[in-house]
Each structure stands twice: as C-alpha cells, then as structure tokens.
Structure 1
Amino acid sequence: MTEQGPAQTSAHLGATPGDRAHIRTYPFDPSASVSGVGIQIGPMGTEGPWAGGVGLSRRVHRIDFHVLLFFREGPVHHMIDFTEYEVGAGDVLWIRPGQVHGFSTTESYVGTALTMQPGFLPRAIVEATGLYRYDRPPLLHPDPPQLAALEASLEQLSREYLDTSTLPLSLHTSVLRHSLTALMLRVAHVSAQAAADECAPQPDTTFSRFRSAVEKDFTTNHSVSAYADELGYSRRTLVRAVRAATGQTPKAFIDRRVILEAKRLLAHTELPVGRIGVAVGFGDSANFSKYFQQHTGVTPAAFRAEQV
C-alpha cells in the first residue's frame, strides 16, 4: 500500500527545473539507500547520502518524502511553510512530504538525518504514528528520558540499516520496517505531546480517505459534497469525521490547504497571480484574489510584497 503524498502543483504548471516558475521538488532516490531500501540514514553536513541531494540545496524547495533531523548541536534556524524554527541540540525536526522548507545558509547542521519514502511503512503504522498529521508542529523537544530512548532506537535502526550481510534482502527490509516502526512510535508520542492532543482520538478511516482525496484533488475540487460523493459518504458523516479529527469543517480544511499552496507559490515563485489562481483551481483571477483576501486579510499582491 503506497500512501498518497501531497499534490505536486509544479507538475500542473509545465515548468522545468531550475527556473522561478515553480517550486522545485526533490524526489526520494532509492538508489542512494543501502541495498536500495525505502529509507536513508546518514550524518547531516557533508558526509553520507545526505550530502548528495536535498542536504546541499539552500534554495527553498519541496520534498516528496519524510525527513527527520535529529540535532546534536544548535541553534540552527530552519524555515518550514513560512515559519522559522530555532532548533537546538537534542531537538527533532520533522518535515513532511510536500512541505516547502529552506536550510540556513550560515549555520551548520550537525546530527543525523533520516529520510523515509512514502509507502515504506504499512497503513496501520502510518495512522498510528501520524505520518500525515500536518496539524502537528514540525519542531519537537523531547525531554531527557525521551531523548535517550530516541537515540537508542535511532542507533538500533542505523545498525540494522548498515547490516546487509546477515539477512537476505526481504528479511533485512522487514527488520528495517519493524525498527523504524519502533522509532516512529516514540517520535509520534513526542509529537502528540507537542500538539497537546495525546488524548484526542486518532483520525479514523473516513478522515484519512478525505485527507488523501483533498491532497490529490484540491487544485481542481473545492466542493465538500463532491468529495463526499467520491468517497461514498453522506455529507453529514464527512463533517463529523473531519470535526473529530481536526476541529474544523471539511470546507475549512479544504480552504486551508488551498491557501497554503497559494501562499507557497506567491512567496517562492515569480508566477503571475492569475496563473497561481489557475494552479489552485480558480479560472478567474478576480475570484482568486477575492477568495485569498477573504481568508488571509490581504490581497495576493500584498502578501507577495510582504515576503520580499
């Protein structure tokens, strides 16, 4: 079962890598992994597989996979979707697929980077660990006992990752999945505490399916009823499920995703406002501008000017 990651809007724009008409997306590269498995573990900085791809990209960009950065030194300032996070020693930064982020150009990243391909873990573990809980904060501050447990779990996973000689590939991959599950359950516990929602119910299948559908279709579909029909739910069932998982209405959830994408394109590309409107589902520039101002309090042009 392969999890559906966030929609790659740049693909809809007909842009080519290297220009300012899109936000560059870095894909997961299995060939850079030991034995070609769906995860990579290496030091941040200039060594290991981390140095060959996004680790050296200082330009704002997307990734289509999960990145967890375990810091041994700090502070480091890292931007994720318009928020700058100050990360210290012992902190964990969790960047999810589709999020736009940028590395500091002046500070050193010291620690361990873990990258994970969507679909590497089974759906049950994806739900249990909140891999796509974009409502949770990226920056985690584990307490000393939690940090010690995370470090031990990460060390065990690293040993299994590098041990390619004692098991056939199929068993090696299974062991990696189990070891990664143990680590991610610990990370998820810290993440839940950070969001102050440990006791809140986990998203049910109804919300999970809705969330995936929105990620796939938000650039063309803003209708709650259309999503309900597509998924085979009544509108009332969908409203209950989304409220239970997020505290929002389905329409607010869709609007929030559309506005985030519009902000990303306004801030990080030079696309005209009209084309950005088209990219997020508005055929008319005036309608897009009205919608954006209604949800943000500023016009698209004013928001773009504020980012300079």
Structure 2
Amino acid sequence: MPEQDPAHPSAHLGPTEHIRTYPFDPAESLSGVGMRVGPMGAGGPWEGVAAPSRRAHRIDFHVLLFFRAGPVRHMIDFTEYEAGAGDILWIRPGQVHGFSATDEYVGTSLTMQPGFLPRAIVEATGMYRYDRPPLLHPDEAQQAAIQASLEQLQREYLDTSTLPLSLHTSVLRHTLTAFMLRVAHVSAQAAADALEPQADTTFTRFRAAVEKQFTTNHSVSAYADELGYSRRTLVRAVRAATGLTPKAFIDRRVVLEAKRLLAHTDLPVGRIGAAVGVPDSANFSKYFQQHAGVTPAGFRAEQV
C-alpha cells in the first residue's frame, strides 16, 4: 500500500473508519507492468484476480470498463450510471464507486497505474479531467475502432515471450497511448455535447492545487497567490471552464468529500468536518446544509 498524502482526509482516519482505498498492484499484472487488461469476471470486474469489494470504495488508479452487455448500474460519487452494450465507464483515481450487487458485468476491463503513461499523453487524453462525464456512448464506428484497438492492446499485453521486458513495456505504452487517444476523443465529444468547455492551463493548475489542498485551504486568494495569478485571472479561467466561481468550485469539492465520508463511514459529523477543513461542528453543519440543501445527519440518513 503506497503512503497516503497527509493532506488527504482518509490519512487522518482510523484503519476501520475511512473509505477503503484499493491500490494498483503491479504484481497482479503479467510481467509486473503498470497496466492490466482482461475480461470481467462473474464475481467482479477482473477475472482470475482478487476483485475489489462490491462495497463502495476508492481506487488510486484508472479503471475503464467496456461493456458487451447490459444494462449494468454502477455508482460513482453518488451518481448511479446505467451502462449498456458498447458503452464505456471511466473511473478516475480518487473517485468513490461501487459495483452493482445484482447486475452481471460482461466485457473487458482495463486498469492502469498513474505514471505508466508519459505526462504529455496524460494531458492529451484528459486522464485527470474529472469534469468530463464518466459514462461514454461511442457510436457504431467508434465502437468498432475502439474494440479493434482494445483487442490489439490485449494481444500485446498477453505476449510476454517475444520481447525483452523493457521492450514489451515500451510497446504496451505505445499501444495503450493509441488506444487512449481514441477513448479520449469520445470523452471530449461527450464533454462538448454537455456544453463543458475545454479547460485552459490556468484552470488545470487550479484544479490540481484544489485536489491536493482542499482539506486545508479554502481560500481563493491563497490559491491565486500560490499559482502566481491575479484573483481576476483565476475567476475568469474557472468560470470559463466550469461556469462556477473559484470559491464555488472549492466548496463543491469539499462537500463531495464530506458526502463520501458521511455515506461510506461511521465517523461522527464533527470528525468529518475536521477531515475536510471545517473543524467546528456547528459551522460544518451550517456549511454542509448551505451547499447540499440538507444537514449532514439528514444526508447520512438518506443513504440507508
């Protein structure tokens, strides 16, 4: 298990209280490479491998599920998505998700470790674009191209004998890059269809900073100073990318984390407030109700 970032809320919780995080284990990949591709099993998404719990949990790696049958209902951060044949579900690191207890997962799963692909490819494919919809509906031509590319990737993944490990890994990275560019094209189209504009570099840097610091830093001015932008520049960039003010963007991230902890842990409300940077219990309850429209206790009761 990799070390947790001390700024991450789950780093401050007891071993039985926080939302369980499943790391990517290269030892479970063929040849120990930083990716895995194969059929979904009846008992979980990875046949022949210990599958993550069907209870809600975090992952610290990318998961892409390619469905050959459906419908399948899958929860990601309090939204239930229904995937059908030909659809793709893209779950990004840090997201809380849960497998359906009744639906059968039929298709192919792809998992990859952060850092397996070069940074330029990560940026080009929007691998950390949390603003993009996780459920993708490629058209017939896109499905055929993606399926052919996925089959090629799986062949390269399984071929561990014709090349030395270093070359095998390089071939996998190149093949995975080509494949992810196809998926990213569908993802970008879905975002455009939802009228979600492309984020510029200013917003990308702001979003990354918020993801690292939202449990301790809720100040727009502090983020602007740290990133070297004027407050006005930051406001313009965030509003263009999301339609939100920077403060609303921060608040949305804080409330999402609070919802995760309320729904998936037994922590007292006061400790959850402290974990997301609002240590006073009364202030946290007021803050949560203002942004979620319900008290923390009321939200938790709704999840039962």
Point out where structure 2 has 5 or more consecutive residues left out of the alignment.
none
CA contact (8 A) 2:83 2:135 kept: yes
Shifted more, 163-172 versus 142-151: the winner is 163-172
Q: Can you give the 5+ residue segments of structure 1 that lack an aligned partner in the other structure?
A: none
Assess if the C-alpha contact under 8 Å between 1:44 and 1:51 holds in 2: no
Instruction: Call closer, same or farther: CA 1:62–1:258 in 2, change over 3 Å.
Output: same
Taking CA–CA contacts closer than 8 Å with sequence separation of 6 or more, which of the two structures ends up with the larger relative contact order? Answer: 1
Choose from 77, 84, 89 the match for 2:85: 89
Distance in 2, Cα, partners of 1:168 & 1:187:
28
Which amino acid in structure 1 is aligned with residue 163 of structure 2? L
1:238 is matched with 234
Are 1:9 and 2:9 matched, yes or no? yes
Aligned pair 1:111/2:103, yes or no?
A: no
TM-score (ref. length: structure 2): 0.92
Matches within 5 A, 1:179-194: 179-194=175-190
The one-character-per-residue Cα deviations of 1:15-72 (angstroms, maximum 9, x if unpaired) are 21xx3x111000010111112111111111159955433x351111010011000111
1:78 to 69, 74, 77: 74
Retained in 2: the 8 A contact 1:192–1:198?
no
Q: C-alpha deviations, 1:72-93, integer Å up to 9, x for none?
A: 1111111111111111111111
Q: What's the offset of the Cα at 1:205?
A: 2.7
Separation in structure 2 between the aligned mates of residue 51 and residue 282 of structure 1, nearest angstrom: 43
Q: Within 1, Cα distance between the matches of 2:193 and 2:139?
A: 17
Measured in 2, the distance between the counterparts of 1:116 and 1:59 equals 21
Cα distance per residue 1:88-111 (max 9 Å; x no partner): 111111111111111111121111
Secondary structure (helix, strand or coil) at the match of 1:165 reads coil
Q: Structure 2: how far apart are the matches of 1:170 and 1:64?
A: 24
2:36 match: secondary structure: strand
- Distance change >3 Å, CA 184–CA 198, structure 1 → 2: farther
- Asked if the contact 2:269/2:281 (under 8 Å) is kept, the reply is yes
Return the alpha-carbon distance in structure 2 between the equivalents of residues 290 and 9 of structure 1: 20
**Mean alpha-carbon deviation: is it higher for 227-236 or for 23-32?**
227-236
Residue among 121, 126, 133 paired with 1:137: 133
Match of residue 280 from structure 2 = 284
Return the alpha-carbon distance in structure 2 between the equivalents of residues 208 and 42 of structure 1.
Answer: 32
Of residues 38-47 and 197-206 in structure 1, the stretch that sits farther from structure 2 once superposed is 197-206
Q: Paired residue for 2:293?
A: 297
SS in 2 for 1:52: coil
Match of 2:303 among 285, 301, 307: 307
Could you list the structure 1 runs, at least 4 aligned residues long, displaced by more than 6 angstroms after superposition.
none
> 2:264 — aligned with what?
268
Preserved contact between residue 197 and residue 242 of structure 2 (Cα < 8 Å): no
- In percent, how many aligned pairs have the same letter? 81
The equivalent residue for 1:158 is: 154
**Equivalent residue number for residue 167 of structure 1:** 163
Q: Equivalent residue of 2:63, what SS?
A: strand
Alpha-carbon displacement from aligned partner over 1:97-139 (angstroms, at most 9, x marks no partner):
1111111111211111100111112222212211111111111
Give the TM-score normalised by the residue count of structure 1.
Answer: 0.91
